Amino acid sequence: MADLWEHAGGLNTLEATRLLLYRPRYSHATLFSGIHRLTERSTAHFGGHLYLRYPDPALHAGPRILAPDADVLGAFTQALDCALYTRPLIPEKTVFHLTGGLDSGTVATHAAQRHPGLITSATLLIGGPGREQQVRRRAEILRATPFGPRDVVIDATTDQPLHPSCARVRGALISPYEEPLHYPFVRMAEEIAASGAHSVVTGLGGDEMVALSQAEFPHRASGRMEDAASLPWIGQRVQETAEFGDLGIAPPAAVNSMTLLSLETSAPVLLRAGLWPLHPFADPGMVELGESLPLDWRQLKQLQRRRLTSMGMNRDVTHPVERESFAEIVRDSLITHGRSLLHHMLKTGSPLFDARLIDPDGLKQALLTLGLDTYEERRDSQLIEVIHLHAAATVFL
């Protein structure tokens, strides 16, 4: 997107609304009018003007009844092999992002078994009560599986998002869709590249591969205006536009749209460091397998849990007790670095104020209560998106 910054004509209110309400949608739209996303299988027509055409919806499978002798884990292993080895993989040049979670753990341990002593692992260490558990679970995975001797570890409590050294904070042309926890992921990518690797394998898409349908588990979409009632900084234009969030979105793809958005988010940081991203769970064959599995293999990610259990992992790995997330990192970063950035935004102005997407009085009110003792995760964590969109709007426009 940075290459197209001169084409940014203004803010796209509908897309800004989606992002500010944490309800992203996969479509041709971006935050800026004049810059468009070419979605999967879409066609761009150039004539007197640009016209983008969506493809037909992709066909999807549904849950099937297993044969009495069905070997689900065997089929899963075969699908993993197909996803990993469709293209040549050089183990010595490939790093596996091993967070300690079920998805990355499943992929990384599979590769380590295939290439004993050759696979390098990497991770970002989180904060909060899940940190000790993350360290412990990763140690168990690395002990129980023949990984290589090198493990790239970046401490995200030190290299925090919104750090003054972050390119996004310093005013670089960073896409608003690029990794929200930018600085620690950049640091990890730099360390991986320095090790001589040229590819990074992740567990992205694992949630969506075994996701439950609305019929199996009815749930309400997030990001509606009633969810934003506690966000005092939401502007008038967002309130007026929220109900139209699903207009103009792309048809179903072979891969879940949330997976596609996640891959779009993670790719720039890796590519900029000279690393090629690989995401086995986003392989269409893996997706089709997940869609075909009965409910009891998908519920609570039983597929990944049973796979790791079959490899001898203990319950600390397969059934963690503590939540492991970047929530505490976001909180500390907002309080340590974010408050000054938001104060500066209020002092100097913002395109988000001018477009009535953010209410400056409401933002000022939120800043008054942004502290360790008054921090509310469901509300205050979303201020980081305000900072990202302000940074992008300021530099692109």
Given CA atoms 12, 221, 183, 260 in this order, what sign does their dihedral have?
negative
Backbone angles phi, psi at 153, to 5 degrees: -125, 125
pLDDT above 90 (res 169) = yes
3-state secondary structure of 396: helix
Tell whether pTM > 0.75.
yes
In the predicted model, is pLDDT for residue 125 greater than 80?
yes
Which residue has 């009632």 as its token pair?
229
Please work out, in degrees rounded to the nearest 5, the angle formed at the alpha carbon of residue 368 by the alpha carbons of 382 and 18.
Answer: 20
Mean pLDDT of 76-84: 97
Average pLDDT over residues 9-21: 97
Q: What is the mean pLDDT of residues 233-256?
A: 95
Segment 374-389 mean pLDDT: 96
Strands, E, within 35-77: which ranges? 43-46, 50-53
Tens digit of pLDDT for each residue in 186-228?
A: 999 999 999 999 999 999 999 999 999 888 888 766 555 566 7
CA separation for the pair 182, 185 (Å, rounded): 5
**DSSP labels, 10-45:** EE-HHHHHHHHTT----BS--SEET-----TT-EEE
For 156-191, give the DSSP string. Answer: TTTS-TT-TT-TTTTT----TTS-SSHHHHHHHHHH
- pLDDT tens-digit profile of 86-122? 988 999 999 999 999 999 999 999 999 999 999 999 9
**The predicted structure's pLDDT at residue 247:** 96
* Assigned CATH topology for domain 72-211+256-318: Rossmann fold (3.40.50)
pLDDT at 213: 87
Confidence of residue 372 (pLDDT cuts 50, 70, 90): confident
Compute the mean pLDDT over every residue in the chain, rounded to the nearest whole number: 95
pLDDT of residue 223: 53
What is the location of CATH 3.40.50.620 in the chain? 72-211+256-318
Tell me the pLDDT band of 229, cut-offs 50, 70 and 90.
Answer: confident
